[in-house]
């Protein structure tokens, strides 16, 4: 597997476009289109929030009922959540306008929205937007990059990733873009992430692979413990790589799965690092936990703790907060067995806790490690063989600022 | 039932004292003692965190094994959590020193600590503290008030409450003090709360009453979703009111239960209002939920959401965040039935959402309501008859400041 340039246009046969539709923002790209030259097998995982946005409900239905999809149209600024019948209509209209300009059936067009909850999408702007999108379609790497920019809201950087693997002697490419900065605590799903691949894979196996990778990627990040109404991870596989179709759990499937996990993890980490107001990425590694699910619960409890997040912001090795967060994770363990370490790139790992008690370490050294852009905390539970990694970010003044006046 | 002055010394036969023991802080009271002139029936509820502080483990054992207790000695500054064998010894030492100066058995002395995790309690200072406490013992109302002050850490105000009821023709008094401002997300327990009463009640019924009231009081508040290692709610009932012993669920028990709930709720609300960095108390009322547990989950989900908390801080009626938080609470409901209102003292209730959609309201009016010191959000689920109320606080720059450099 090797990482290559680009995102959703990296794989063969995929094009992208962006538009300034002025849906809510002014003077910036706020619509994006991803288009496959041929219909592609579709799969997706979505938010588990009881309150689901109009595009989420429609995508869930289409992915379940239809074998294929050919386009995804996205907008930023308005989430089209809690918008009732009018919102459903606007969402259908967005799909219809896109289908019309592309000359394909409406049911081949998936939709995704992100932004403020409760506002209605302005129909006339969607129409204008669809026309602009059609004009801009390109299979260049840049087109994919621009699409990743057009779906940003409070994100400060765009996020994309692409890799190439060899399946059945053919070069297969997977590329994806994602957005997400606040209201990030994916649960069995993720924020907006559109993945394209030219792999030839059955719908069943694509769905299986996606459901498998979210557990160790998007579901392991959190910015603020708020599971969004709009979380969407949709994939299109158009088969243009020409490999023998993957339709069982064979070696080819494993190769594909590894690549999908790589891309998903990478984008999940980028999302956590770009958490609203964040200055640091926090990684929590849990070792020797009693089981996989327990390992995940422990790791996630650490990165979601506001007290851990503020301590990392202040570069304060207040390890009691980490032990405390492990303690209320819901997992049974013996606190007097736990070892804790912190580390960052370019420095030796530092042990803070040995068998549940303060180790003999230098506060100064600890503070230096915690000042890095990416800080890793390692908890050795000495209670089994399972491992997990979760990613979050520090909690800062800026987070409060962004969310104290988001709508204005 | 009527509210009366004071806290832990309001009931007959209870005394309190404070000391400047310099355990961690300088120039402030940091130890407190609550003493009953006669041994009192004891009961308690404690943190469910797997990592439990030394005093929590000891109190749990003593309350289970012994019918009565006569004193509670408390310190602020150091939590005596994650301190191993040395911490257990220091905790026993604190109980022994207190027992010695009081001339009672060590096993009649409960202990409680709050402050930084991982530091050891300095033994020599505990000894000095115990002597000072003995000298200061008084049954005055002021002594109780000072005890409430001595257990503060990042709290900005001390918290106490007392009420009087009539049981079996006798005046029964319940008084309590509590502390808690950060690491507040009690789970089947609470932060430090010591309740004294002269009621004559059996150990079994006292424990039953406490376990019942925490569900609707301390367990319904949250400052930062961090369940502490030290949460302790201990009660002493010395029987000096002379009422017929309450030993079954009769009318007297109900009268006592109501009073206990009143005091517990009042102190829980004070704790939430004094959450670290808080400028506002947030109350979430859930009406017509499918069941009691569901109602509590929904209410608690609203007050724990960082996005709701920051929106209230910014006085922004971003109701989508409230619906979103209800949506990921884990409770099943129909979003298109939900009505949302906000209210504050001295203003008419304002409807923000009707049947899951934006109602026609004035943003200005909404912002004015959200500028009050106590803001109430009411969610009508139209799905049953259960109700619940939860209390939290806004998330502010100050919270980040306090926790970015707590230890220094």
pLDDT tens, position by position, A244-282:
999 999 999 999 999 999 999 999 999 899 988 999 999
CB-based contacts of B32, cutoff 8 Å, min separation 6: B16, B17, B18, B19, B73, B74, B75, B133, B146, B147, B148, B150, B151
CATH 3.40.1390.10 fits B2-273, yes or no: no
Position A50 confidence tier, pLDDT thresholds 50, 70, 90: confident
Q: Is the pLDDT of residue A408 over 60?
A: no
For residue B56 the two structure tokens come to 């929590």
Q: Which CATH architecture has domain B281-404?
A: Roll (3.10)
Chain A environment of B79 (Cβ under 8 Å): 320
pLDDT tens, position by position, A137-189:
999 999 999 999 999 988 889 999 999 999 999 999 999 999 888 777 776 44
Interface contact flag, A118 B333, Cβ < 8 Å:
no
Q: Which of residues 107-126 of A touch B (CB under 8 A)?
A: 116-119
Chain A environment of B399 (Cβ under 8 Å): 306, 310, 400
Chain A environment of B54 (Cβ under 8 Å): none
Sign of CA dihedral A82, A83, A88, A90: negative
Spans of chain B, pLDDT less than 50: 189, 408
- What is the distance between the alpha carbons of residues B347 and B349, in angstroms, rounded to a whole number? 6
Q: Which of residues 386-405 of A touch B (CB under 8 A)?
A: 395-397, 399-405
Residue of chain B nearest A302, judged by CA positions: B226
Query: A397-404 and B306-313 are packed helices; what angle lies between their axes, rounded to 10 degrees?
Result: 70
Mean confidence (pLDDT) of chain A: 93
Q: Is residue A318 within 8 angstroms of chain B, CB to CB? A: yes
Phi, psi angle pair for A201, to nearest 5°: -145, 145
- What is the distance between the alpha carbons of residues B360 and B380, in angstroms, rounded to a whole number? 17
Pairing verdict, β A109-116 and A386-393:
unpaired
Give the catalytic positions of A in this structure. Answer: 190
Collapsed DSSP state (helix, strand, coil) of residue B160 = strand
Q: Is the pLDDT of residue A407 over 70?
A: no
For residue A338 the two structure tokens come to 């736990």
pLDDT at B39: 95
Q: Which of residues 347-366 of A touch B (CB under 8 A)?
A: 353, 355-358
In this prediction, the answer to ipTM > 0.90 reads no
- What is the distance between the alpha carbons of residues A86 and B298, in angstroms, rounded to a whole number? 27
Q: How many CB atoms lie within 10 A of CB A360?
A: 6
For B289, the enclosing helix (H) or strand (E) is strand B281-289
pLDDT tens, position by position, B135-179:
999 999 999 999 999 999 888 899 999 999 999 999 999 999 998
pLDDT tens, position by position, A280-304:
999 999 999 999 999 999 999 999 9
More confident of the two residues A172 and A223: A172
Q: How many CB atoms lie within 10 A of CB A84?
A: 15
Burial A240-269 (b: 16+ CB within 10 A, else e): bbebeebeeeeebbebbbebbbbbbbbbbb
Position A190 confidence tier, pLDDT thresholds 50, 70, 90: low
Residue appearing with tokens 């409760």: A118
Do you know the residue count of chain B?
A: 408
Of B229, B333, B395, the CB nearest to A324: B229
pLDDT tens, position by position, A382-396:
999 999 999 999 999
Interface contact flag, A397 B401, Cβ < 8 Å:
yes
pLDDT at A135: 97
pLDDT tens, position by position, A77-110:
999 999 999 999 999 999 999 999 999 999 999 9
- What is the distance between the alpha carbons of residues A195 and A102, in angstroms, rounded to a whole number? 20
pLDDT at B190: 55
- What is the distance between the alpha carbons of residues A148 and A211, in angstroms, rounded to a whole number? 23
A408: exposed, middle or buried (C-beta count within 10 Å: 0-12, 13-18, 19+)? exposed
- What is the distance between the alpha carbons of residues B79 and B50, in angstroms, rounded to a whole number? 15
In A60-129, where do the E strands start and end? 68-78, 109-116
Q: Do domains B2-273 and B281-404 have the same CATH topology?
A: no
Q: Which of B83, B98, B178, B190 is catalytic?
A: B190
Sheet with B386-393: list strands edge to edge. Answer: B357-358, B350-354, B339-343, B374-380, B281-289, B386-393
Q: How far is CA A63 from CA A47, A179, A236, B245, in A?
A: 14, 21, 10, 66
Collapsed DSSP state (helix, strand, coil) of residue A158 = coil
Domain ranges, ordered by start, for chain B: 2-273, 281-404
Half-sphere exposure of B10 (CA within 13 A, CB side): 28
- What is the distance between the alpha carbons of residues A133 and A130, in angstroms, rounded to a whole number? 5
């Amino acid at each position: 597997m090797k990482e290559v340039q680009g995102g959703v246009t990296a794989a063969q046969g995929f094009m992208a476009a962006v538009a300034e539709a002025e849906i809510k923002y002014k003077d910036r790209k706020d619509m994006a289109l991803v288009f496959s030259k041929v219909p592609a097998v579709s799969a997706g995982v979505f938010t588990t929030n009881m309150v689901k946005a109009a595009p989420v409900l429609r995508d869930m239905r289409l992915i379940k009922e239809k074998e294929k999809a050919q386009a995804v149209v996205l907008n930023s600024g308005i989430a089209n959540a809690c918008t009732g019948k009018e919102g459903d209509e606007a969402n259908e209209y967005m799909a219809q306008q896109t289908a019309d300009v592309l000359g394909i059936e409406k049911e081949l067009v998936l939709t995704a929205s992100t932004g403020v909850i409760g506002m209605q999408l302005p129909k006339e702007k969607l129409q204008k937007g669809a026309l602009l999108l059609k004009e801009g379609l390109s299979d260049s790497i840049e087109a994919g990059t621009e699409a990743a920019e057009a779906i940003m809201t409070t994100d400060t950087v765009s996020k994309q990733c692409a890799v190439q693997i060899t399946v059945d002697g053919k070069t297969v490419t997977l590329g994806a873009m994602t957005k997400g900065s606040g209201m990030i605590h994916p649960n069995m799903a993720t924020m907006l992430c559109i993945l394209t691949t030219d792999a030839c894979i059955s719908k069943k196996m694509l769905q299986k692979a996606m459901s498998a990778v979210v557990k160790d990627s998007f579901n392991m990040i959190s910015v603020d413990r708020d599971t969004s109404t709009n979380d969407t991870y949709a994939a299109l596989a158009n088969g243009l790589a020409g490999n023998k179709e993957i339709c069982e759990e064979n070696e080819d499937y494993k190769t594909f799965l590894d690549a999908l996990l790589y891309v998903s993890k990478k984008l999940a980490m980028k999302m956590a690092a770009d958490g609203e107001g964040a200055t640091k990425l926090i990684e929590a590694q849990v070792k020797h936990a009693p089981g996989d699910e327990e390992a995940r619960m422990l790791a996630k409890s650490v990165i979601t703790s506001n007290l851990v997040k503020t301590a990392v912001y202040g570069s304060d090795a207040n390890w009691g907060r980490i032990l405390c967060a492990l303690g209320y994770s819901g997992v049974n363990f013996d606190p007097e067995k736990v070892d804790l370490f912190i580390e960052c790139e370019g420095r030796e790992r530092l042990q803070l806790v040995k068998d549940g008690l303060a180790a003999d370490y230098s506060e100064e050294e600890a503070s230096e490690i915690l000042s890095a852009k990416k800080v890793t905390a390692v908890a050795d539970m000495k209670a089994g063989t399972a491992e997990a990694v979760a990613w979050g970010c520090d909690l800062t003044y800026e987070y409060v600022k962004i969310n104290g006046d988001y709508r204005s």
